[in-house]
A and B are shown apart, each in its own frame.
Chain A
Amino acid sequence: MEALGVWNYWVVVLLMMIGLYTVIARDHLVKKLIGLGVFQVSVIMFYVSMGKVTGGTAPIIPDEVPAEGILYSNPLPHVLMLTAIVVGVATLAVGLALVVRIREAYGTAEEDELQRMNGAQS
C-alpha cells in the first residue's frame, strides 16, 4: 500500500496518459488540443504537489509573531507554474487559431480528411 501513499503522483500519471492518448487517438484537431491541454495540466499538477509541504502554510513571513518555527510550503514550484500556465494558454491560443484557419482553408478539421486532401494535392 506504500505506493498508494503518493496518490498525487498517480493522479499526475493518469492525467498525463489520458492527455497523451487523446492527442494520439483522436482525429478532430480541437480534441487533440484538449488532450494537449490535459497533458500540460498534469505537469502543472506535478509541480504544484511537489511544492506542498505536509502541514506547511503559505510562505508569508508574519510581522508581529516570532517568525521562527513556522513550517512553510515551498513557493518556488508554484511561481514557476504561473509561467507554465501562461505558456500553456499561449500554445492553446496559437493552436486554436491554426484550427480556425485550417477549417477555413479545407472546410474540415478532421485529421484523416486533411491527410487525404493533402495527399491528393501533392
Chain B
Amino acid sequence: MSEHLSALIVVLPLLAAPVCLLLRHTAMVRAWTSIVAWACMIMAWTLLERVQTGGAISYSMGGWDPPLGIEYRLDALNAYLLVIVTTIAAVVFPSGTILTGTALPEGKRHLYFAALLLCLAGLLGISSTGDLFNVFVFVEITSLSSYTLISLGKDRRALTAAFSYLVMGTIGGTFLLLGIGFLYQVTGTLNMQDLALRLPELLESRTVLAGFAFLMVGGSIKLAVFPLHQWLPNAYTQAPPAVSAFIAATATKVSYYLLARVIFTIFGAAFVFDALHLHWLMLPMALAAMFAGSFAAVFQTDLKRLLAYSSIAQIGYMVLGLSMASEAGLTGGIVHLFNHALMKGGLFLAVASVVMRTGSSSVNAISGLGRKMPITMAAMVIGGLSLIGVPGTAGFVSKWYLVVGALEHGWYSVAVLILLSSLIAVVYVWRLVEIAFFGEATHDVCEVPWNSWLPTWILIGGTLVFGLWTDVTVGGASSAARALLGGTP
C-alpha cells in the first residue's frame, strides 16, 4: 500500500470527484471533499518525509518500467510542491466561506465540489508525473476545471473572464503540446529523465530550440509571467473568493514548477543560461512584473483585483529567483512558492469573509471593519505585512534569499529594485489598513463564525510561524534547489 502513495495521491481526488455526484447532498459533499483533501495532505507530508530521508521515489504506473511506461517521479522539489498544494486544499476546502460568492442554486452545489476535486487532482498530477505528455493532460484537467470554477462567480462578468481565460489557457496548453511534440520527434521519448539523457547531444538542432521555445511560452502563459498576465486579474477578481484563494495559492505555483522542471531537469541550466542567455530575457520581465504589478495594485478599487495584481508582482519575484539559477536565488524562488501560497491564500480567504458579511469585495466595503470584524481584519493586516516582507513574516524570508542571490551574482541594482518594489507594496497595504481601521463603518456587521476565520488564521498564522522558524520551508526549498542544479534529482 505505502509504495503506491505517489500514485494514490493523484488517483484519490480524481476518483473522489464523481463520488460527489452520487452523494449530492451539499453537507455530505462538503465533508467528503474535506476528508479527501486531508487524506491527500497526509500522503503528501509522508511522501516529503520519505523523499528527504530516502531520496527520489520512482513509481512505474501499472508496473511498466520507464522509459516505456509512465513514471511518477518524486524528488525534493515535487514532494515540496505536493505539500504546498495539498495543505492549501486541506485548509480552503473545509472553510465556511467556500460557497461565498458563488452563483449556484441549492441542488447544484455538489458539482462545484466535484470541480474543486478535479482541479486538485490535475494540480497534483502535474506535480508528480515524470512523463511530459502526462503533464499536458493534467494541465488541461486543471485548466478545464478552473474555467468552470471561475465562471461560477456571482457577477455576470465572471463568464467573460472565464471565457478569455479559456482562450488564453487553451492557446498556452496547445503550445505545450506542440513543444512536447517537437521534443518527441527528435528524441523519441516522453520520459523527463530519458529526455535529459538524450537531449545534450541534440541541443544544436533547431527542432529542439523550437520545442523549448513553445514549452517556455506555454508555461509562461499558465504562470502569467508579466507580458502574458492579461487573463489573471479578471479571472481572480470574478471567481468566487474561495476559488481565488485556492487557485492563486496553487495553480501558479504548479506552473512555476513546470517551468523550473523544463529548464533545469530536461534542458539543464548550462544550456538555458550559458548558451541561450535566457536570464537576460527573464530578468527584465521579472523586474517589470514586480513594478507594474505593484503599481497597478495601488490604484485598484476592488480587493480581489488588488490581490490579483499583487500576485503578478509576486510571480515576478519567483521568476527572478528562477533567472538567477544559483542555489540562493532558486531557494528564494521556491521558498516564495510556499510563503506566497500561505499569504495569498490567507488574504483571499479574509476577503471571502468580508464578502460573506458585506456582500461586496470593493475596497470601501472594509471601511471601519477593523472594529466590527477584528479577527478577519487582523489576519488581513498580517498577510499584507508579509506581502511587503516585514521581518518576522514569511515574506521577509523569501526576499532575504532573493537579495542574497542577487548580491552573489553582483547584481546590486537588482537587489535595490527588490527593496524598492517592496516599498510600493507598503502603499497598497497601508491603504487597506487605513480604510479598515480609521474609516467610518458603513456596514453594521459582526465577526464571521469560527469555521470561516479559522482557515484564514491557519494560513496567516503559518506566515508568522514560517517567518521565524524556517527549518522546514527553507530546508525543503534549498534541497529542492540543490536537486534542480545538481542535474540528477
B291 within 8 A of A: no
- Which residues of chain A are within 8 angstroms of B177 by Cβ–Cβ distance? 43, 84
- Which residues of chain A are within 8 angstroms of B442 by Cβ–Cβ distance? none
Is the beta-carbon distance between A32 and B181 smaller than 8 angstroms?
no
B160 within 8 A of A: yes
B244 within 8 A of A: no
Interface residues of B in 119-170 (CB under 8 A from A): 133, 136-137, 140, 144, 147-148, 151, 156-157, 159-160, 162-163, 166-167, 170
- Which residues of chain A are within 8 angstroms of B60 by Cβ–Cβ distance? none
- Which residues of chain A are within 8 angstroms of B170 by Cβ–Cβ distance? 36, 39-40, 91, 95
B437 within 8 A of A: no
- Which residues of chain A are within 8 angstroms of B162 by Cβ–Cβ distance? 98
B16 within 8 A of A: no
Q: CB < 8 Å: which of A50, A95, A106, A121 contacts B166?
A: A95
A70 within 8 A of B: no
Q: Chain B: interface residue count, which band? A: 20 to 34
Tell me how far the C-beta of A76 lies from the nearest C-beta in chain B, rounded to whole angstroms.
8
Tell me how far the C-beta of A81 lies from the nearest C-beta in chain B, rounded to whole angstroms.
10
A87 within 8 A of B: yes
Given A39-B171, A91-B140, also A118-B163 (CB < 8 A):
no
Is the beta-carbon distance between A43 and B181 smaller than 8 angstroms?
yes
B451 within 8 A of A: no
Q: CB < 8 Å: which of A36, A84, A122 contacts B167?
A: A36
Interface bits B178-196 vs A (CB < 8 Å: 1, else 0) = 1001001100000000000
Beta-carbon nearest neighbor of B214 in chain A:
A43
Q: CB < 8 Å: which of B136, B137, B140, B156 contacts A105?
A: B156
Chain B interface secondary structure, helix, strand, loop or mixed? helix
Inter-chain CA distance A47–B174, complex, in Å, is 12
Is the beta-carbon distance between A91 and B181 smaller than 8 angstroms?
no
- Which residues of chain B are within 8 angstroms of A98 by Cβ–Cβ distance? 147, 151, 159, 162-163, 166
Highest count of chain A CB atoms <10 Å: which of B140, B157, B163? B163
- Which residues of chain B are within 8 angstroms of A46 by Cβ–Cβ distance? 178, 181
Beta-carbon nearest neighbor of A37 in chain B:
B170
Interface bits A97-121 vs B (CB < 8 Å: 1, else 0) = 0110110011000000010001001
Q: Number of A residues whose C-beta is below 8 Å from B?
A: 30
Interface bits A16-34 vs B (CB < 8 Å: 1, else 0) = 0000100100000100100
Tell me how far the C-beta of A111 lies from the nearest C-beta in chain B, rounded to whole angstroms.
8
Tell me how far the C-beta of B425 lies from the nearest C-beta in chain A, rounded to whole angstroms.
24
- Which residues of chain A are within 8 angstroms of B156 by Cβ–Cβ distance? 102, 105-106
Q: CB < 8 Å: which of A36, A39, A47, A94 contacts B148?
A: A94
Inter-chain CA distance A57–B167, complex, in Å, is 38
Beta-carbon nearest neighbor of A74 in chain B:
B188
- Which residues of chain B are within 8 angstroms of A14 by Cβ–Cβ distance? none
Beta-carbon nearest neighbor of A50 in chain B:
B185
Is the beta-carbon distance between A29 and B163 smaller than 8 angstroms?
yes
Inter-chain CA distance A95–B181, complex, in Å, is 25
- Which residues of chain B are within 8 angstroms of A39 by Cβ–Cβ distance? 170-171, 174
- Which residues of chain A are within 8 angstroms of B167 by Cβ–Cβ distance? 23, 32, 36, 95
- Which residues of chain B are within 8 angstroms of A83 by Cβ–Cβ distance? 133, 137
A11 within 8 A of B: no
Tell me how far the C-beta of B215 lies from the nearest C-beta in chain A, rounded to whole angstroms.
13
Is the beta-carbon distance between A90 and B140 smaller than 8 angstroms?
yes
Given A29-B163, A101-B151, also A40-B174 (CB < 8 A):
yes
Given A32-B167, A36-B167, A39-B171, also A50-B181 (CB < 8 A):
yes
Inter-chain CA distance A36–B173, complex, in Å, is 11
Tell me how far the C-beta of A51 lies from the nearest C-beta in chain B, rounded to whole angstroms.
10
Beta-carbon nearest neighbor of B238 in chain A:
A118
Q: CB < 8 Å: which of A47, A94, A99, A121 contacts B181?
A: A47
Tell me how far the C-beta of B231 lies from the nearest C-beta in chain A, rounded to whole angstroms.
13
Tell me how far the C-beta of B342 lies from the nearest C-beta in chain A, rounded to whole angstroms.
30
Interface residues of A in 33-90 (CB under 8 A from B): 36, 39-40, 43, 46-47, 50, 77, 80, 83-84, 87, 90
24 contacts between A and B (CB under 8 A): A39-B170, A39-B171, A43-B174, A43-B177, A46-B178, A46-B181, A77-B184, A83-B137, A84-B136, A84-B177, A87-B137, A94-B147, A94-B148, A95-B166, A95-B167, A98-B162, A98-B163, A98-B166, A105-B159, A106-B156, A114-B160, A118-B157, A118-B160, A122-B157
> What 15 additional pairs, Cβ within 8 angstroms, besides A36-B171, A50-B181?
A20-B171, A23-B167, A32-B167, A36-B167, A46-B178, A47-B181, A94-B148, A95-B170, A98-B159, A98-B163, A101-B159, A105-B159, A106-B156, A114-B160, A122-B157
4 A-B pairs with the lowest CB-CB distances in the bound complex, closest first: A105-B156, A87-B140, A102-B159, A98-B163
